[in-house]
Structures are given as structure tokens and as C-alpha cells.
Structure 1
């Protein structure tokens, strides 16, 4: 059986990295694997890249470093030679056997988007499936891909801090953006099912609160409510003002404040108990949301309670 899925170990082999590059993956659309892999080599051996098994899937590549005079092949034929600039996005059709000459340092993010994910997005929206993505060999100045890439690079650097809700949200956004921008996909407007029923919102919040670590996937919550993951994500944000992963972060901070208002547990104990990977992660998120560090918030809270300045 030929293994498919151009991410992780297979991207590492394609680029002859000699190691498995960092990867994040989700299965939020039709259980299809959507993934992002960060690849970097500052001193590569010169030669043609490897080859992926042909499949109905795409690589969306965000370049993080200039790559002058990049030579690209498709289906065994030399396609083009052009300067690739950091910050640009390229799309590759994996049915066409894309390859390129590795002869200088490189650094990129590669988003793996298979056909079942694109079809699942369309089916969940009740929209027409797209025929294909535009994979013309030109770089795109795509601010959305850059933004999503910057967010996911934080998760790739600190995978223990990247909860599954966050990964699911970012990958769903990436897939929808790519389908719309390069495939002509159009969301079908949902009017009758535009909002969550009160019981759905309550159950969704209960599910999120029960797993402060954010390990429960979006798909599991949406399925329990009888909704598609894309509709649930939009409706939850409409109801709360926040996507599920951001709502959970705020709930973690609210829970942490209750614990910090009491003497006893250390900051590291509070951090772990409310689902953060470590005290450093807790401090960054708490400070961003509350405007002060957990330690400063606790001193102020306990001083107020005890009458101390």
C-alpha cells in the first residue's frame, strides 16, 4: 500500500532533512488529515528533491526565506525558474509530482490539504464542490496565509501549548480561505440555522469547561450538537463573540482568578489545574487577557480581601 499524506515524516524525506520536522494535524473535515509542517535546512546537500506519491491533494507553501532562482519540475519536466521571496504563498498539485532543485538554504511552512477536506467543507456548507485549486507557478501575496502561518508557528515551536481546539480552528480557517481564494468556493448563506439554540450553546460550553486542556476536537463537539464543524464554529462565535479556542482561554483565566483569590496553591499549581502546559504559558496568556501578570493580580486580590495595601 502506498502511503500518502504530504506532511511530517514524508515532507522530511521529500526534502532530505534527515529528521522528522515539526508538524500539527487535525481531522475536523470528514476526518480528513489536514496538517502543517515546518521545514528548514541552512546547509542542504545539492540535488533534486524527492517525490510524493501521487494523490488528489495540495500543498500550500508559505515561504519564510528568500530562495533565488528556484527551479521547479512537474511530471518529470522542467516547469520554471524564478526567484521566490519570503512571505509569498505557492500552491502545488500533488497529482502533478512537483519537485524542485535543492541548492541553497530554505525555510517554509507546508500546509497539506487533501481533496476530502475540500469536499467536506463544501458538503457541510451545502455549496458546490470546487473542481481544483489554481496551482499556477506564481507567488501570491496572501496576508491571510501569513497570519495563520505566524499563529501556527507558535504552536510548532511549543507543541505542548497548542491545544487541539486551536489547531482545529486555524486549519479550518486555512482550508476555507484556500478554497475561496484559489478554488472559487462560496459559502452558502445559512439563515434558518444561523444561531445556536440555547441548549446547544449550554452544552458546547459544558463540553469546553469539562476539558480545560482543550484536547476535545471541534468535530466531537459539533457532532454531539448535530452540526457541521464549520457551522458550529461560525455559530459559536456569533453567540459568544469568540471562537471556541479563545472562549476556552478566557474561561481558563476566569477559573484561574478564582483560585488566585485564595491563599494556598502556587502559580505553577494553578497553571496546571486550569489546563496550561506550564507556568510560563499560563503567565503569557493570563497577562494578555487580564492586562497584568497572575502574581500581580493575586497580590492585588489578596490585598483587597485582607485590607492590606
Structure 2
């Protein structure tokens, strides 16, 4: 609509923080904080804004925009910092227009999962949210670096229960929170300790197990690719083919025709591990 007709939008109050990242250049908008105009202009692609929603914010969009907004509740943030051994974060120090390729790429990883069948991608959502929490806590919350060196590990029974639970739910998928609950831990605590114990994230471990199961079924040659995809917990055959190629370098159909007797599984992680 013409800029002179653009409404001024009052952003609802929440006990939460809003993290917005621009997926493409945003030409023009206005932003008010407690009745004071604090921004008039645009934002570049990858620009990030972090606002505390207990305060009064109003905005006016004067051009088309394309962005992703993460809503982080105070409770979720406090649970993360507590489990990570950090001090409580009171505010985030994010300069206006700051470019953040990490948050930008986390949003890009999230977008293909939106609109998929319910529950199938809960595991990936959990890992993306934990990665976002860790990043903003360190970069904008000035979190202590000590937490990244914590070396807590799972007890043997916890490791076994976590792996068994993931395998039991291989086809339908399961959230990181539910796995952690089986081990009597919080989501963040479990995720950190699982990686300290096994050397890889729970997400990567589960994808490896799905590929191993797929290789077994492909070798048996008794099911269609779609049936194998669903039995191994992939959304559809296309999703299965993309992940399978990431691990093996070839498509499921080609592997079945040429290497059907081999069950060797490449060790390259998916998605790529972060240092």
C-alpha cells in the first residue's frame, strides 16, 4: 500500500524476546520504542534485530519485506542459561542493522521444515532452537565462555536409553525434549552431554541410524523407495533421497542397483557439525 496509508502496528507484549533476521533487503520502515522514533530507513539482507517484548514497540512497514521472527520466551531462555551454567541474561546488546550470517543461515535451515507433516521435524526444530540460543547468548548476551567447555557426560544407562528410545521411534520421529525426559534431563543438558559422550549430536546420530536402516531395507529389495523412506522416518521419497545422497554421494536407487550388498555407512555428519 502507499506509505502514507501504512498502519502503525503495536507489537503485542510478551515475557519474551523477539529475534528478527532479514532474508532479503528491507527498503524502508519505522520503529518506535516507548513512543520515541528509534529507526527510520531500511535493513540489509542478514540484518538482525533483538527486542525485549515487555517494552513498548511499534512499527510501520513502508515497503515489502521478507524475514523470519523467532520468539524466545523468558522461561525458555532462563532454562537454557541455567542448564548451560551461565548467568541469567537481562538484555541483549545488538547494534541496529547488525549483520549476522549465523542467524540468517539458521533461518534458512528452518524454512524447508515449515509446513511439513506434524511431528516429523521436531528433532530438527529442537536443534535449531538450541543453536540459536547458544549463539545469541554468546554474541549478544555476553555469556561467559566457560559453559562451552563443560564436559558433563551421560551415565551409561542414559546413553543406552536415549539411543533405544530414538530407535523405537525411528519411523515417526521424536522431539529432543522427549528424549531428554527419558533420561531425566533438560533438553539443553541432554544435548550437550550426548555430544560429550558420543562425539556427535543426537540429531546426527539419529540420521546415521536412519541411513543404516535404509541400507538394510534397500539391500533386501522387498519395498519401494517410498515405503523405505517412511519406515526410516523421512517425510517422503524426495527428502529421503536428499539425505541419502548427502551421506553416500549417490541416490538410493543407484546405490541399490550397484552396491546392494554393502552396508558400509559413510561417517560424514548431516547436517554439518559446528565447531
TM-score by length of 2: 0.85
CA–CA separation in structure 2 for the residues paired with 1:126 and 1:140: 27
- Note the C-alpha offset of 1:302: 4.2
Counterpart for residue 56 of structure 1: 15
Counterpart for residue 124 of structure 1: 83
Counterpart for residue 108 of structure 1: 67
Counterpart for residue 83 of structure 1: 42
1:205 aligned to which of 157, 160, 163: 163
Please state whether the residue corresponding to 1:145 is helix, strand or coil.
helix
* 120-129 vs 54-63, greater mean Cα deviation: 120-129
CA–CA separation in structure 1 for the residues paired with 2:174 and 2:127: 12
CA–CA separation in structure 2 for the residues paired with 1:302 and 1:52: 56
- Note the C-alpha offset of 1:50: 2.4
Mapped contact 1:44–1:102 kept (Cα < 8 A): no
1:169 aligned to which of 127, 132, 157: 127
Deviations 1:7-56 (A, max 9, x none): xxxxxxxxxxxxxxxxxxxxxxxxxxxxxxxxxxxx78841342233222
CA–CA separation in structure 1 for the residues paired with 2:58 and 2:11: 9
Mapped contact 2:117–2:235 kept (Cα < 8 A): no
Mapped contact 2:151–2:196 kept (Cα < 8 A): no
Counterpart for residue 271 of structure 2: none
CA–CA separation in structure 1 for the residues paired with 2:218 and 2:60: 56
Mapped contact 2:154–2:197 kept (Cα < 8 A): yes
5+ residue gaps, structure 2? 263-275
Counterpart for residue 215 of structure 1: 173
2:142 aligned to which of 184, 187, 191: 184
- Note the C-alpha offset of 1:158: 4.5
1:244 equivalent to 2:230? Answer: no
Counterpart for residue 222 of structure 2: 264
* 212-221 vs 249-258, greater mean Cα deviation: 212-221
Mapped contact 1:161–1:277 kept (Cα < 8 A): no
- Note the C-alpha offset of 1:201: 1.4
* 197-206 vs 252-261, greater mean Cα deviation: 197-206
Q: Which has the higher strand share?
A: 1
- Note the C-alpha offset of 1:72: 1.1
Deviations 1:247-297 (A, max 9, x none): 111111100110111122111111111111111111111111111111011
What is the Cα-based RMSD across aligned positions, in Å? Answer: 2.5
Please state whether the residue corresponding to 2:234 is helix, strand or coil.
coil
- Note the C-alpha offset of 1:99: 2.2
5+ residue gaps, structure 1? 1-42, 305-309
159 and 201 in structure 1: CA distance in 2 versus 1, 3 angstrom threshold? same
2:107 aligned to which of 146, 149, 152: 149
219 and 160 in structure 1: CA distance in 2 versus 1, 3 angstrom threshold? closer
Please state whether the residue corresponding to 2:32 is helix, strand or coil.
strand
Deviations 1:147-174 (A, max 9, x none): 2112112212646696111100110110
CA–CA separation in structure 2 for the residues paired with 1:253 and 1:44: 52
265 and 44 in structure 1: CA distance in 2 versus 1, 3 angstrom threshold? farther
TM-score by length of 1: 0.76
Counterpart for residue 195 of structure 1: 153
